[in-house]
Copies of this chain bind each other. A is one copy, B any other.
């Protein structure tokens, strides 16, 4: 039976479609639209998982949430493909980025979004929050100066995890051509055929 992906438009779940395309696994997409006023996920998603968030996948009766956990599940499901290359430092780097993407990089991006919604009221917080994000972008820029992909010479699931925070950084975090290694990496991921196929399956995506 195919894996079911509960996919919210313009969201973290785009990565799961991409991951499935990279691995060539069979899947079915259930699409959800955001509330056009609040931009939040619709209540239907709460019927799938009480947190009401996307992505969530289902397979053989198991409901799996949380992007990092889903990505680990899919790597295992594909006998380790797109997992870390075998040597020790790569395993450590892989694990780091798998947790880092959502654990460290998304929080300042969420904070920027909230502060941005406050308009003028949020202005005093904008600079310090942008500063928090800049520390990440500066570090990531130096990391990619030495290698094409986040873990090493090969594309891995860590690159899939990192895509959404970096795409969101272009959209609202000030990431631009002044950080050429990061922009080069974004060009490389967007040029992958599986990325393009995932966009076709998922529908409109404002971040690519």
Contact = CB atoms under 8 A, between A and B. Distances in A.
Contact of A103 (B67, B89, B111): B67
Interface of A: 50-53, 62, 64-69, 72-73, 89, 92, 95-96, 98-100, 102-104, 106-108, 110-111, 114-115, 117-118, 121-122, 124-125, 129, 135-136, 138-139, 142
Nearest to A60: B88
Contacts of A124: 118, 121
A138 B135 CA distance: 34
A182 to B, nearest CB: 15
Contact of A99 (B50, B51, B102): B102
Nearest to A93: B69
Q: How many copies does the complex hold?
A: 2
B64 A96 contact: yes
Contacts of A104: 51, 53, 66, 102
A56 B179 CA distance: 26
A56 B174 CA distance: 27
Given A118-B124, A124-B121, A96 B110 contact: no
Contact of A66 (B69, B96, B107): B96
A173 B22 CA distance: 40
30 contacts: A50-B139, A51-B104, A53-B104, A62-B89, A62-B92, A64-B92, A65-B100, A66-B95, A66-B100, A66-B103, A66-B104, A67-B99, A68-B68, A68-B98, A68-B99, A73-B95, A99-B99, A102-B102, A102-B103, A102-B104, A107-B107, A108-B110, A111-B111, A118-B118, A118-B121, A118-B122, A118-B124, A121-B121, A121-B124, A122-B122
